Chain A
Amino acid sequence: MSTTDNTDKILKELISTSLLGESENLTHRILHQIKAEEALRPKKITKPDYSISDMRSLLFGMCAVLLIFVLIGYFNFGKTFYTTPLFLIPMLAVCCGYSLIFFFTTWRNSKHS
């Protein structure tokens, strides 16, 4: 064994004796403080019924419905169909309906938070 290794071994033996012992009630004090602070913390806010991911799926659903509506109109009546009230009114109705749901959900989320 080299001199440095031997010195390191002795140093380890010596310095290891300086490790302080556990305090009698320190563990209890720490865990008690953690529990007390945990109890004082405000409870978690309940999650709103509608999350952003729900809204996203709703948006995609609506876009899919509109796309189908547009395609059916185009193949049955041609381009002129887009200028008729038969197309515009249902389109506006769907968009307004979705906007209402969106605003209601946003308002509800902000009220919860």
Chain B
Amino acid sequence: MEEKELIKRVLDGNSHEFGYFVNAYQRMALTIAFRICENRQEAEDIVQNAFVKAYHNLHTFHVKSKFSTWFYRIVYNLAVNASKKTLFQSSFVDVKNTELENVAFQDSSVLDKLQHTEISNAVHEVLGTLPKDLGLILSLYYIEENSINDIAEILGITKENVKIRLFRGRKLFIQKWEQLNVLNN
């Protein structure tokens, strides 16, 4: 059944149908909240509140837009409000003045050397060292392949800002990843 149809059914009073959305978007919502508050338990509470809020405000959702974008925006806002640290203001650089050529992995076979859990832990470690907004944008872009437009809508920033932050995040991630591997080797 399509999401739009499910939303209609939920609005008609079939609250159990909302379980589909909880199952479908829970993991990414947890990841978004975790990237901001850096605490699993707190992230779970935020996601729970976000789902309840989404359920009660489902009538305000415009069917033309994507449910995921609308919902992740709720998660993001709740997480930012819950997080006392407001480290979401990064200094922007002009994309035109940066060197895109430098952004590339030197050793692409590194993935084969590490086990999945080790990779996951290492990625968490690297993402944890990045500014929160950059880590979040990388997660939104690479995990769920959200478009630049969707990310801009979720974070409430312009598309240009998303592109700049994505570029910076990508560059920083690669640098830190290479450093981590040098240290491990």
Taking Cβ atoms with an 8 Å cutoff, the residues of A that contact B are: 3-4, 6-8, 10-23, 26-27, 29-31, 33-35, 37-38
B26: interface (CB < 8 Å): yes
Whether B27 contacts A30 by the Cβ 8 Å rule is: no
A10→B104 CA distance, assembly (Å): 10
| Choice from B23, B31, B48, B138 contacting A20 with Cβ under 8 Å | B31
Min Cβ gap B105→A in Å is 5
Q: Summarize A's interface: helix, strand, loop or mixed.
A: helix
Contact B31 A18, beta carbon cutoff 8 Å: yes
Residue of A nearest to B103 (CB): A7
Q: A13 to B111, Cβ gap below 8 A? A: yes
A-B residue pairs in contact (CB < 8 Å), sample of 26 = A6-B105, A7-B170, A8-B142, A10-B105, A10-B111, A11-B174, A12-B145, A14-B111, A14-B177, A15-B173, A16-B143, A19-B139, A20-B30, A22-B30, A23-B30, A26-B44, A30-B22, A30-B51, A31-B16, A31-B18, A31-B19, A33-B52, A34-B15, A34-B18, A34-B51, A38-B15
Given contacts A6-B105, A15-B127, whether A21 and B27 have CB atoms under 8 Å apart is yes
In the complex, given contacts A6-B108, A30-B47, A30-B52, what are 20 additional A-B residue pairs having Cβ atoms less than 8 angstroms apart?
A4-B104, A6-B104, A7-B103, A7-B105, A14-B177, A15-B127, A16-B142, A17-B123, A18-B127, A19-B139, A20-B40, A20-B43, A22-B26, A22-B27, A26-B44, A27-B23, A30-B22, A30-B51, A34-B51, A35-B15
A/B pair count, beta carbons within 8 Å: 100
Q: State whether the Cβ of B116 lies closer than 8 Å to any Cβ in chain A.
A: yes
Selected contact of A27 from candidates B19, B119, B127, CB within 8 Å: B19
Q: What is the interface of chain B, defined by CB distance below 8 A to chain A? A: 15-16, 18-19, 22-23, 26-28, 30-31, 34, 40, 43-44, 47-48, 51-52, 55-56, 100, 103-105, 108, 111, 116, 119-120, 123-124, 127, 138-139, 142-143, 145, 170, 173-174, 177
A17 x B120 contact (CB < 8 A): yes
**A21: chain B residues within 8 A (beta carbon):** 27
Contacts of A17 in B (CB 8 A): 116, 119-120, 123
Interface centre among A20, A22, A34 (most CB of B within 10 A): A20
* Interface residues of chain B: helix, strand, loop or mixed (majority): helix
Nearest to B127 among chain A residues (CB) is A18
- Given A26-B47, A33-B48, A34-B18, residue A15 in contact with residue B111 (CB < 8 A): no
